[in-house]
Amino acid sequence: MKLVIQRVKNAKVTVDGNITGQIEQGFLVLLGVAPTDTKEIADYLVQKLVKLRVFTDENDKMNLSIKDVGGELLIVSQFTLYADCTGGNRPSFVNAAKPDLANELYEYFMEQCRKEGIKTEHGIFGADMAVELLNDGPVTIILEK
């Protein structure tokens, strides 16, 4: 499982002109699933995500987690995180999980984030989405397991 985490002042995802998810301060998370991923891997990455200390404290140091600042999550499924471009100029996606497994783990990941008490918004799995964000910092972190 691979996460690209962007600290944002706000973000939203739109499908067919309709906003499907929108947040204020927090993380926009692009989530990719590999064929070997499990719920245990998702659990591990949820804990890393919610405890990641990249929000600034009163001394302007990155020392606070998303929970500490009352932040929100916008999680967007993105199989292209597993693109393999070594064989030419057209990416191969054989390293991405099949849609059934990917959607199951995407939904599970969001459910676990909600259980942590964090407002969690989302895109639509498999849809053509427009994602807008105001990056804060910018701060972008990649987590993978």
Tell me the CATH architecture of domain 2-144: 3-Layer(bba) Sandwich (3.50)
**Domain boundaries along the sequence of the chain:** 2-144
Say which of 6, 27, 55, 79 is annotated catalytic. Answer: 79
Residue type, 113: C
Say which of 36, 47, 80, 140 is annotated catalytic. Answer: 80
- Give yes or no: 112 in active site: no
Q: Would you say 53 and 63 are in contact if contact means Cβ atoms under 8 Å apart?
A: yes
Q: What is the residue-level pLDDT of the chain in tens, covering all 145 positions?
A: 999 999 999 999 999 999 999 999 999 999 999 999 999 999 999 999 999 999 999 999 999 999 999 999 999 999 999 999 998 899 999 999 999 999 999 999 999 999 999 999 999 999 999 999 999 999 999 999 9
Give the pLDDT confidence score for residue 128 in this predicted structure.
95
- Give yes or no: 79 in active site: yes
Alpha carbon distance 78, 61 (integer Å): 31
Say which of 6, 27, 78, 109 is annotated catalytic. Answer: 78
pTM: 0.95
Q: Which burial class, exposed, middle or buried, applies to 85 when counting CB atoms under 10 A from its CB (0-12, 13-18, 19+)?
A: exposed
Bridge-based pairing of strands 26-32 and 62-64 is unpaired
Beta-carbon count within 10 A of 31 CB? 26
